[in-house]
Amino acid sequence: MTPTPVPKDDGALRCGILGAAKIAPPAIILPARTHPEFIIAAVAARGKDKAEAFAKKHGIAKVYFGPNGYQDMLDDKDIDVIYNPLPNGLHYEWTLKALTAGKHVLLEKPGTDTAAETKVLFNYAESKGLVLLEALHCRFHPALNRVKEIIDSGELGKLKSMKASLCFPRVMSGPDDDNNIRYQFELGGGIMMGMGCYPLMIVRTLAGTEPISVLSASAAPFTNGTDEQRRTIDVGTEAVLEFPSDVTAEIACHSRRPGWGPLGLLPHLPEVKAEVTCEGGKIEFVNFLFPNVYHKIQVAPTGGEKRDEWAYTFNDGVGEDWWLTYRYQLEAFVDKVKGRQPKTWVTGEESIGNMQWIENIYVATGLGVRPNSTFVLPQD
């Protein structure tokens, strides 16, 4: 459905988008239409034509472009917050620059390329009294919060194990997919970064604590490239994590899952699912990524009756049935910037933790961590 735009309040936050990225329309432009306190005021893109076409298409009043376009937008006093959907390898540099310019930042996932960089960003934001949020959008939807609530209620007894998968078949990739930023090492590519960050976040959130170790991990390497760096790019990764109190978690991500059956010609269905096993029963959570489209939470107490649940809004009435994960995320971000208590939040500690375990998994697969940015903030 196309939601009806709402009038904007006085004092609505004015947002600038860094880069005319593909994810920007669903993740920020559409949700902003129904938020009375959020206006998409500017976009900056490297190329003039692209910047202007993007602004025209999405009704954005101010456009920045050229070699200084990104920085010029950050320096615009009329902009309060920045949405940063640049390639992962540029998250660190441009978020530091946005924070330096005094802007709050909604930063696309995964936070940066390394845990050390993510830590620097959150410490810097805190030192400047600015809000920084990693856009792990499905974390903000009531459905995931409901699954956590069921586990924490103790209804099914002690948590034993979890499994979370985000796997898409090869047929879902476009023809130019090899050039995608996701497969460029120097831009922080790799599918454990781009997709694995979600199942990892899911099991860490549901466990309510950090893992202790990577018990095993393996990666499906990118196979089309000939250059050395492509050998460090994964198109899929699987890992088993150990959590405290004998809890284990299997996670899997894949962007090009090979087919099966005769000659491997039959495509797998997309797999976007979390399964939780407790001492007294199981939970199956189908579609944790875009639960707004459809999801199902099946609760199966051992020896008891199964039930299905759906959670499109919070039980205290916050939200609308049709809100995207991104709309819930925007609600939380605006609440935080405005000094209100958000319904759900991803702390800096959590973002640093997610990045740390992405790194640990990459090390365990043998592919190694992504490169640190060479950007150094000039000293005052």
Ligand X SMILES: NC(=O)C1=CN([C@@H]2O[C@H](COP(=O)(O)OP(=O)(O)OC[C@H]3O[C@@H](n4cnc5c(N)ncnc54)[C@H](OP(=O)(O)O)[C@@H]3O)[C@@H](O)[C@H]2O)C=CC1
Residues in contact with ligand LJPVP2WV by the rule CB under 6 A = 194-195
Inter-residue contact 204 to 212 (CB < 8 Å): no
Minimum CB distance to ligand X, residue 358 (Å): 12
Question: Per CB under 6 A, does 109 bind ligand X?
Answer: yes
- Compute the C-alpha angle 144/150/152, nearest 5°: 100
Question: Per CB under 6 A, does 135 bind ligand X?
Answer: yes
| 258 contact partners, CB below 8 Å, separation of at least 6 | 170, 264
Which amino acid type is present at position 298?
Q
Query: How far apart are the C-alpha atoms of 328 and 137, rounded to whole Å?
Result: 8
Inter-residue contact 369 to 359 (CB < 8 Å): yes
Q: Which does 195 bind (CB under 5 to 8 A by kind): ligand LJPVP2WV, ligand X, none?
A: ligand LJPVP2WV
DSSP secondary structure string, 159-208? Answer: EEEEEEEEEEEGGGS-TTGGGSGGG-GGGT--HHHHTTHHHHHHHHHHHT
| 113 contact partners, CB below 8 Å, separation of at least 6 | 88, 89, 91, 92, 188, 193, 369, 370, 371, 372, 373
Q: Is 148 a residue of the active site?
A: no
Question: Per CB under 6 A, does 241 bind ligand X?
Answer: no
| 4 contact partners, CB below 8 Å, separation of at least 6 | 34
Whichever of 193 and 299 has its CB closer to ligand LJPVP2WV, that residue is 193
Instruction: State the residue for tokens 């809000």.
Output: 131
Region of 85-93, 252-260, 278-286, 341-349 interacting with ligand X (CB under 6 A)? 85-93
Question: Per CB under 6 A, does 307 bind ligand X?
Answer: no
Residue of 103, 109, 148, 273 marked active site: 109
Whichever of 98 and 247 has its CB closer to ligand X, that residue is 98
Question: Per CB under 6 A, does 90 bind ligand X?
Answer: yes
Question: Per CB under 6 A, does 268 bind ligand X?
Answer: no
Query: How far apart are the C-alpha atoms of 303 and 358, rounded to whole Å?
Result: 37
Question: Per CB under 6 A, does 108 bind ligand X?
Answer: yes
Out of 34, 88, 287, 344, point to the residue binding ligand X (CB under 6 A). Answer: 88
Residue 345, helix vs strand vs coil? coil
Instruction: Count CB neighbours of 176 within 10 A.
Output: 7
Question: Per CB under 6 A, does 201 bind ligand X?
Answer: no
| 104 contact partners, CB below 8 Å, separation of at least 6 | 13, 80, 81, 82, 130, 131, 132, 333, 337
Count interface residues toward ligand X (CB under 6 A): 22
Question: Per CB under 6 A, does 62 bind ligand X?
Answer: no
Question: Per CB under 6 A, does 16 bind ligand X?
Answer: no
Whichever of 192 and 240 has its CB closer to ligand LJPVP2WV, that residue is 192
Q: Which does 12 bind (CB under 5 to 8 A by kind): ligand X, ligand LJPVP2WV, none?
A: none
Q: Which does 43 bind (CB under 5 to 8 A by kind): ligand X, ligand LJPVP2WV, none?
A: none
User: Which positions are annotated as active-site residues?
Assistant: 109
Residues near ligand X, by CB under 6 A: 19-23, 27, 45-47, 50, 85-88, 90, 108-109, 135, 137, 181, 187, 194
